Structure 1
């Protein structure tokens, strides 16, 4: 009897051990996406001129452009966002709230900035409490601006011809952006800036920047790390402001479009929407 009981006890112990091992070895299951994500990459409607190539925008407060903005805002609003995230520094949230409230109640005219022309307009029409500032634009762990100054590195390493070729490529892309806006509507321009073709061309521009410098002086790569880090910080701010069930509309400079969409997709948190679908009339909202 003792032998039989011993064998039973041993078998139970082995079974318990194997069950424990199986439990430890089983990979955890990632949570499923619990929010929707729509990014609308925009040109800067107030002409700040901060980029290497800048689309020169005529007055978006003019009657024609206001009609076009109202039309494209109506198309985007079909998404029915529950949160609208915008390119404004997180420290400016209080001012953003005050400006939104005043503009939404007709006590303040909206400025030319796309944060207001699209973000405020859609949030007000959808009866949202405001828009959420999610921008971050600091050096972070980068120790000095010299370590990301790829223009200086181009001079040091005689890469001027390479840079000139890259500028020609960028100018050709920007010239087409300019023609699209000049000859078409605000909606046409936004559709272009969110198209797969434009996003591919934009991604390659950052790849080219990464090649400036040398293996021992990789300043172009340093700059790309800074750019990626900025987008990651922005995306983390978006996630922190997102709750399960949210339909998140992000309105940002088009140059952020590749990384913010990629991060949203890779995170597993969001169902990432096809922006071009929401920018075209006649396509179903869902």
Structure 2
């Protein structure tokens, strides 16, 4: 009887060890099968929809066109197989028409970064076009008042905190403006994709999340909407990615934190160092 119990105990230990190994390395773990390069940009056509907006001069000027062509050349070394851009998914057909006309010299590029960088690189690399992956809706949020954090600031007397936060945001934006005014397009993109700028950007969204109260969490609601938008965009990117793809994502720089993080956490992508691809003489891999 004692021997039987001993064999049972050994078998139980072996089972536990096997289970532990399985937990440590689950069979569902995936290995990256595509490359991901995110290039965050300022909005070259000055839509003015952000809290703090950089005022871009005319990117169609001869000087800026030379700078954009130089940046496009550097990014093109990545050899993208697909270029994903900040355009609504529903606009794909219109985007395809504009790309075809521009690539064949029948239509000039507009001031939008989707065209100045996306169209330019796609045409030079002989791609069929760019891929629209944007989503900018309310999703399951039905009441816009539930995400109106400026109103929550008034409601809860948080104007002093808003003034402090605005001063921080203005300082970051002033430096953005200085770099753009005195430097090149390449200098600006290096800044917008730097760890320092991304950290400041992430902290800005953290501060928005604190507006309101525990019973009236308007700022947190807005951050949930922002995260949901980026998750939906990222899902659109994944759905258009195939094994072996080299995916270039050209987007507003404010999306950089979440889209890079999601690409890393997904396990699907080898996430590239953006600054490396924006600098002359940097290694290509």
What TM-score comes out, normalization by structure 2 length? 0.93
Per-residue deviation, residues 58-97 of structure 1 (Å, max 9, x unmatched): 0000000000000000000000000000000000000000
- 1:239 is matched with which residue? 238
Matches for 1:24-173 after TM superposition, within 5 Å: 26-27=22-23, 28-29=26-27, 30-173=29-172
Aligned residues: 276
Cα distance in 2 between the residues matched to 1:111 and 1:51: 21
- Give, in angstroms, the shift of residue 237 of structure 1: 0.2
Is the partner of 2:279 in helix, strand or coil?
Answer: coil
- Give, in angstroms, the shift of residue 20 of structure 1: 12
CA RMSD of aligned residues (A): 1.9
- 2:216 is matched with which residue? 217
Cα distance in 1 between the residues matched to 2:227 and 2:91: 23
- Give, in angstroms, the shift of residue 19 of structure 1: 7.3
Cα distance in 2 between the residues matched to 1:262 and 1:270: 11
Matches for 1:166-205 after TM superposition, within 5 Å: 166-205=165-204
- Give, in angstroms, the shift of residue 31 of structure 1: 1.2
Between stretches 27-36 and 174-183, larger displacement belongs to: 27-36
Structure 1: gaps (5+ residues): 1-6
CA radius of gyration, larger in: 1
- Give, in angstroms, the shift of residue 282 of structure 1: 1.2
Between stretches 55-64 and 23-32, larger displacement belongs to: 23-32
- Give, in angstroms, the shift of residue 196 of structure 1: 0.2
Structure 1 residues 158 and 78, CA, compared in 2 at 3 Å: closer, same or farther?
A: same
Per-residue deviation, residues 9-28 of structure 1 (Å, max 9, x unmatched): xx9xx97xx77994798242
Structure 2: gaps (5+ residues): none
Per-residue deviation, residues 170-200 of structure 1 (Å, max 9, x unmatched): 0100000000000000000000000000000
Cα distance in 2 between the residues matched to 1:41 and 1:54: 15
- Give, in angstroms, the shift of residue 142 of structure 1: 1.1
- 2:248 is matched with which residue? 249
Cα distance in 2 between the residues matched to 1:206 and 1:107: 42
- 1:3 is matched with which residue? none
- Give, in angstroms, the shift of residue 169 of structure 1: 0.6
Per-residue deviation, residues 111-144 of structure 1 (Å, max 9, x unmatched): 0000000000000000000000000001111121
Cα distance in 2 between the residues matched to 1:279 and 1:106: 27
